[in-house]
Amino acid sequence: MNWVGRRLPRSEDPPLLRGEGRYVPDIAIGARAVRFLRSPVAAGRILALRPPAEMPPGCLFVTGADMAGVQPIKPGLRRFNYRAVEQPVLPTERVHFVGQAIAAMVAPSAALAEDLLETCELDIAAEDPVVGFDAALTPGAPLVHPIAPGNVAVEGELRPEGFAETLAAAAHVVEFAFRSGRQSAMPLEGRGGVAEYDRATGRIRLSASAQMPHQLRTGIAQLLGMPEADLQVIAPDVGGGFGQKIALLPEYPVLVWLARKHRGRFAWVEDRNENLIASAHSRDQRHALRAGFDAEGRLLALEADILADVGAFSVFPTTCAVEPLMALAEYPGPYKVPAYAVRARGVLTHTCPMAPYRGVSRPVITFGIERLMDRAAAVLGLAPDEIRRRNLHDAFPARSATGMVLDEASYIEALDEAMRILDVPAFRARQEAARAEGRYLGLGLSVFNERTGYGTPAFAARSMDVVPGYEVVDIAMLPSGEVEARIGSSPHGQGLRTTLSQIIADRLGLDPGAIRIIHGDTDRTPYGWGSFASRSLVIGGGACQVAADRLADKLRRGAARLLQCEPSEVALRDGQAVAGAASMPIAELARLAHQRSELLSDAIGFNLAETGQYDPGGTFSNACHAAIVEVEAETGHVRVERYLVVEDAGRIINPMIADGQVQGGVAQGIANALFEEVIYAPDGTPLTGTLADYTPPTCAEIPEIEIHHLETISEATITGAKGLGEGGSIGAPAAIVNAISDALSPFGVDVAEFPATPPRIRALIRGRAPRA
Amino acid sequence: MTEVRFTVNGTAQCVEVEPRLTLADMLREECGLTGTHLGCEHGVCGACTVLMDGLPVRSCLVFGVQAEGAEIRTVEGLAAADGTLNVLQRAFQAQHGLQCGFCTPGFLMLATWLLEQKEGVDEARLREVLASNLCRCTGYQNILAAVRVAAQEIRVWREG
């Protein structure tokens, strides 16, 4: 029985469907409530900070001064002129963005804590804030941090010799400058944590809505100078993360500090306003591209100048360099770029810090290069698919302009398949007919690759002080024959319990129902990294496979002893160890291994436990997205009529879950393309502090998403799988905006910004008459 | 403090609450029914949707004291006492209508109400009603599919 490849329903679902999930706010009930006093100004010096004159019993007010000795958050990076910006857990001198936590108020209820915050004394001498690229980069601008001259926190540059000559010699030079709006990952459950002191052991248990429990533990222990062994971190049910919950932000060390100092149980549940203004943002970038093409439309040279607003601080453990440096490293994407010159800068401003968000910089660079391809196609008189076909890598392994190895993929096949499904001539006829009626339809393409499942070597190249990558899985068969696999990864909606059990079941000849995946608890799982970067199925799944194979070997050795044959003659299938005509239940073997060890110990030792480790170099999934939109010229409203994904993520472990990841990713990508933006006033006040302002889409705005799979089995991973968690989000902004630009081509305008909101579209075409 | 008497999923409740406590917090903290989730606390996301006297409400926008004498239904009331999932819950699992599960109780209660309307459900009505709530994981397609399948199974689906 092969479980891999089946649409197995998720074992995660029944408790969640009964309302029996346990998320942090559920665990928080009954704990002392913590609320944070947050800065109302973007920049300034703290002059006075005092609690209300009367503090009711059971209430506490904690400031940075109380937490003296706690280290500032200071992630490190050893290259690219990185400036090691420090973030005090609670500041005592200055504030750096609206929403920055300044003090914690503890009360028996969150409502009372909020009442008390109303009457705290907070006096800040406001200073001129630095908001936006122009303010930050103006010579003589105030410095967000003195350690970062010119407000540049990190700067990378690559410029091969002779680049200028190569570009100058090109038959056509095409330029594209654009901006991507600041966005929030906006998980439906915000962040939050419950820290509890255990009097019997002196340990703290922190339950946190987090993506990287082991890193949170290590990071907090370092900040507080406490024994790491005294801290247990649990990620219970987590209501979405999408990258935002990677970050070690100040609230968590405050909770652990409170629990240790006051030997109690303290909970903070982030509200939506806090999530939108003070949890991490992303994607606030401005790029200028220049590309040289030969007369046939082949790309000869690409030059990129990348600015990424990184906000006021650098987030642990990824650092504020994650966005600019990913853009620097991966801009060429799936295209052959013989000469690539790039400068990328991370710019500090008095705004909320940035963390990775689904796709990190790739939605932005894909937007850049895919808009560029459409512009070049227009200049050269080529069809959009044809110019892409002429430039996509078609021989593998290929080497990217920045030295990354691109493994076997289906860049051109995916494009061709999308074109076949779309029937472009029919669409063009429909588009023409619609234009005659004053209706504007457009078709947009987006071709990209997605580096996934990359382990330590790839991260080590970034020179961060904290280098993620590997995963470790401890697997054990219990005397009952059930299997427990303890994973370092930490899912939050991806269905890993189901998919990993499918991988293990096939290796052990068991039913997935006999396999329990244990995750999200530093006391019960091996040290690992968590779920991010489209990695868990590839790396955690690979480690599960290694561990399961080692356990299978052990089972075969044990069975061979009892069945009196060679281990190589034993097959594990359908719950049985089979050797020719002889067989025995695997569960019976497990019982004997533990309780009748005298029969087996010289063959297999005293347990059925193994460890699997996996640290792959990385692989690239790929996709072609295509969108058909209708733009209403009067209102600027965009309706997505059709959305097509042809994607290749290698071997698909569970097609139902894979499709769910793609659908959800595309929906976020459409949201990023059309609707969502974190907006700051010039004085640094966030204007989008509710979901009614941030305007995430509902099912009325998101179309059916058609998904077609290609399966180029990866030789770069042991399961053959490539990651796909982020791809939907990566491809959608480019496909949508290319479609809008195509729709608006009669107006002679070009969309160079996302989200492409109705006001922006109206502004573009205002006063312009469509060409006939 | 104010005493409030109401029923939740058919069980009589009597709690003492501050008048400012929301229905959502009252259900979660006073009744121990944590299946009702809070995604925004300003009435946009719908994760906290429960049925109050037969109508879907944002329980973050209703005060607990307003529930005096009301019949409240929450996600905990959907499955059988032994935990067996009902038609709608089964459809959500079969159609992969949830990922992180945080928005799910709100969608389940909204859809429960929709499926109980005597006029039945068609595609336009389905999308119109489910557009009340937000999901960040699924892209909605499978939530729509789940409710559609459940409607077909209980024979309230109308082809547009």
Find, among A256, A248, A243, A238, the residue nearest to A214 by Cα: A248
Residue of B nearest to A13 (CA): B93
CA distance A99 to chain B (A): 17
Q: Which residues of B touch A492 (CB under 8 A)?
A: 100
Are the beta carbons of A698 and B132 separated by less than 8 Å? yes
The predicted structure's pLDDT at residue A347:
98
The count of domains in chain B is 2
Cβ contacts of B156 within 8 Å, gap of 6 or more: B115, B117, B120, B121
Residues B73 and B108 in one domain: no
pLDDT, one tens digit per residue, over A253-305 is 999 999 999 999 999 999 999 999 999 999 999 999 999 999 999 999 999 99
Are the beta carbons of B101 and A242 separated by less than 8 Å? no
The amino acid present at A468, given as its one-letter code, is P
Are the beta carbons of B35 and A664 separated by less than 8 Å? no
Task: Give A281's strand partners.
Answer: A184, A354
| Count of other CB atoms within 10 angstroms of residue A159 | 13
Residue entry with tokens 């969502």: A676
Least reliable range by pLDDT among A457-461, A641-645, A655-659, B17-21: A457-461
Find, among B2, B143, B128, B133, the residue nearest to B65 by Cα: B2
pLDDT cut 90: percent of chain A above it: 95
pLDDT, one tens digit per residue, over A660-699 is 999 999 999 999 999 999 999 999 999 999 999 999 999 9
The confidence band for A530, taking pLDDT boundaries of 50, 70 and 90, is confident
Residues B49 and B95 in one domain: no
Taking 70 as the threshold, does the pLDDT of residue A231 lie above it?
yes
The predicted structure's pLDDT at residue A539:
94
Residues B62 and B25 in one domain: yes
Chain B within 8 Å of A108 (Cβ-Cβ)? no
- Phi/psi region, residue A2 (left: phi>0; alpha: psi -120 to 50; beta: rest), is beta
Are the beta carbons of A18 and B39 separated by less than 8 Å? no
Is B160 part of any domain?
Answer: no
Residues B72 and B91 in one domain: no
Tokens of A373: 């391809």
Q: Which residues of B touch A728 (CB under 8 A)?
A: 139
d(CA A331, CA A451): 12
CATH code that applies to domain A360-452+618-765: 3.30.365.10
Residue of B nearest to A11 (CA): B93
| Count of other CB atoms within 10 angstroms of residue A636 | 20
Q: Is B106 exposed, middle or buried (0-12, 13-18, 19+ CB in 10 A)?
A: buried
Question: Which of A20, A656, A702 is opposite residue B35, by nearest beta carbon?
Answer: A20
Specify the domain boundaries for CATH 3.30.365.10 within chain A: 23-127+191-269, 360-452+618-765, 470-614
Span A616-627, mean pLDDT? 96
Determine the structural domain holding residue B97 and report its residue range. 87-153
pLDDT, one tens digit per residue, over A304-353 is 999 999 999 999 999 999 999 999 999 999 999 999 999 999 999 999 99
> Is the CATH number of domain A23-127+191-269 3.30.365.10?
yes
Residues B94 and B143 in one domain: yes
Q: Is A171 exposed, middle or buried (0-12, 13-18, 19+ CB in 10 A)?
A: middle
Chain B within 8 Å of A490 (Cβ-Cβ)? no
Mean pLDDT of chain A: 96
CATH number for B9: 3.10.20.30
Span A583-588, mean pLDDT? 98
Taking 90 as the threshold, does the pLDDT of residue A448 lie above it?
yes
Chain B within 8 Å of A614 (Cβ-Cβ)? no
The predicted structure's pLDDT at residue B97:
98
The confidence band for A236, taking pLDDT boundaries of 50, 70 and 90, is very high
Tokens of A772: 């006939």
Final residue of a structural domain among B77, B108, B123: B77
Residues B18 and B65 in one domain: yes
The confidence band for A772, taking pLDDT boundaries of 50, 70 and 90, is low
Tokens of A687: 């204007």
The confidence band for A1, taking pLDDT boundaries of 50, 70 and 90, is low
Question: Which of B21, B103, B131 is opposite residue A188, by nearest beta carbon?
Answer: B103
Question: Which of A13, A659, A665 is opposite residue B98, by nearest beta carbon?
Answer: A13
Question: Which of A17, A239, A665 is opposite residue B100, by nearest beta carbon?
Answer: A239
d(CA A75, CA A87): 9
Span A525-532, mean pLDDT? 91
d(CA A476, CA A433): 65
The predicted structure's pLDDT at residue A630:
98
Is B82 part of any domain?
Answer: no
Residue of B nearest to A28 (CA): B29
N-to-C CA span, chain B: 51
Are the beta carbons of A240 and B99 separated by less than 8 Å? yes
Residues B7 and B60 in one domain: yes
Is B159 part of any domain?
Answer: no
pLDDT, one tens digit per residue, over A178-193 is 999 999 999 999 999 9
C-alpha gyration radius of chain A: 27
Residue of A nearest to B45 (CA): A691
Residues B32 and B73 in one domain: yes
The confidence band for A552, taking pLDDT boundaries of 50, 70 and 90, is very high
Question: Which of A23, A660, A704 is opposite residue B99, by nearest beta carbon?
Answer: A660
pLDDT, one tens digit per residue, over A712-726 is 998 889 999 999 999
Q: Which of residues 177-236 of A touch B (CB under 8 A)?
A: 186-189
Count of pairs with CB atoms under 8 A, one residue in A, one in B: 174
Residue of B nearest to A491 (CA): B100
Is B19 part of any domain?
Answer: yes
The predicted structure's pLDDT at residue A534:
82
- Determine the topology of domain A470-614 in CATH: Aldehyde Oxidoreductase; domain 4 (3.30.365)
Is B102 part of any domain?
Answer: yes
Beta-strand pair A571-573/A339-348: unpaired
pLDDT, one tens digit per residue, over A109-167 is 999 999 999 999 999 999 999 999 999 999 999 999 999 999 999 999 999 999 999 99
The confidence band for A493, taking pLDDT boundaries of 50, 70 and 90, is very high
Final residue of a structural domain among B77, B95, B113: B77
Dihedral (CA of A555, A557, A558, A564) sign: positive
CATH number for B114: 1.10.150.120
Is B120 part of any domain?
Answer: yes
Q: Is A435 exposed, middle or buried (0-12, 13-18, 19+ CB in 10 A)?
A: middle
Residues B12 and B69 in one domain: yes
Final residue of a structural domain among B55, B77, B99: B77
Residues B133 and B93 in one domain: yes
Are the beta carbons of A189 and B140 separated by less than 8 Å? no
Are the beta carbons of B142 and A495 separated by less than 8 Å? no
Find, among A375, A373, A307, the residue nearest to A342 by Cα: A307
Residues B97 and B41 in one domain: no
Are the beta carbons of A19 and B131 separated by less than 8 Å? no
Question: Which of B28, B93, B143 is opposite residue A699, by nearest beta carbon?
Answer: B143
